[in-house]
Amino acid sequence: MERPVISLRGATASLGSRPVLRGVDLTVGRGEVVALLGANGSGKSTAVRAVVGQVPLTGGELELFGTPRRRFRDWARVGYVPQRTTAAGGVPATVREVVSAGRLARTRLGPTRRADREAVVKALELVGMADRIKDSVNALSGGQHQRVLIARALAGEPELLIMDEPMAGVDLASQEVLANALREEVGRGATVLLVLHELGPLEPLIDRAVVLRDGCVVHDGPPPKAVGQHALPGHDHVHPHADPSAEPIRTGLLS
């Protein structure tokens, strides 16, 4: 059998003195789309951050592409979308500049070539943001920020896409665009592990759902369709909403 892309066995991790993962097993095979579900504080975010090496494991084993995490150096194969609500930093930056950072997974300290610039444009086309390439990220809505962050991960042309709550605070239109982008990536053979709060428009794409509760896996199998994610323990609902920073409401009374 082919070696799994992600193999996490008996993983434990703590944040401070609080144990957050208490023996998590998680296997993701090539071409699979796996959703990690659970309530706030269940450890799902910590689990993916452990997979990308941003949270140290206190116990258990982690292999990426069959290589123990400690010896894994091939980060160009991994595209990561951290949990963020904004792509902006303390200085203005354009969409192109932010997405180009994702290409560093391949160029590292070397120069940028034509293929690199083309990959950036292609990634932006995938998320429907190519027409905003020269705009400042400060001018984007919440959903557009998330699309830029996903394009940044796609710019490195990864085999494995790891996303931490890519749909948080994203309007429905952007959710549809992201679902389509993801569908294309999966069609191309990409493997996906994503943390979700609710399945939403991604539901048809998900092969398997892993549900965490208090740092333990309580479900590993088909996505919980019948009862829906609303039946998950401790579920709290995050509605997609209009971005409040997009435009001030013009009432015409004061202007």
Partner 1 sequence: MDILELAFMQRALLAALLVGVTAPAIGVYLVQRRQALMGDGIGHVALTGVGLGFLLNTSPVWVATIVCVVGAVIMELIRSYGKARGDIALALLFYGGMAGGVMLMSLAPGGSNANLTTYLFGSITTVSQQDIVAICVLAAFVIVTTVGLRRQLFAICQDEEFARVTGLPVRVLNLLIAITAALTVTVAMRVVGLLLVSALMVIPVAASQQLARSFATTFAMAVAIGVLVTLSGTVTSYYVDVPSGATIVLMAIGVFLALTALATPLARKRADRAAAEERCTLDEPTPGPTTDDVRV
User: 157 or 198: whose CB is closer to partner 1?
Assistant: 157
Other C-beta atoms lying within 10 Å of the C-beta of residue 29: 16
Residue 57 binds to partner 1 (criterion: CB under 8 A)? no
Q: Interface with partner 1 by CB under 8 A: which range of 38-46, 99-107, 168-176, 215-223?
A: 99-107
85 in contact with partner 1 (CB under 8 A): no
Smallest gap from residue 62 Cβ to partner 1 (A) = 14
Measured in degrees and rounded to the nearest 5, phi and psi for residue 67 equal -110, 135
Nearest distance from residue 255's CB to partner 1, in Å? 7
Helix axes 142-154, 95-107, angle to 10 degrees: 20
121 is a contact residue toward partner 1 (CB under 8 A): no
32 binding partner 1? (CB under 8 A): no
Question: If binding is defined by CB under 8 A, does position 67 make contact with partner 1?
Answer: no
Binding mask 155-194 toward partner 1 (x if CB under 8 A, else -) reads -x--------------------------------------
Asked if residue 62 lies in contact with residue 193, where contact means CB atoms within 8 angstroms, the answer is: no
Residue 27 makes CB contacts below 8 A (sequence gap 6+) with 4, 6, 7, 8
Residue 12 · residue 23 · CB < 8 Å: yes
Smallest distance from partner 1 to CB 91, Å: 4
DSSP assignment of 97-150: HHHHHHHHHHHTTS---HHHHHHHHHHHHHTT-GGGTTSBGGG--HHHHHHHHH
- Examine residue 36 and tell whether it contacts partner 1 (CB under 8 A): no
Where does this chain bind partner 1 (CB under 8 A)? 52-54, 73-76, 78, 80, 82, 84, 87, 89-94, 96-98, 100-102, 104-105, 107-109, 112, 134-136, 138-139, 152, 156, 247, 250, 255
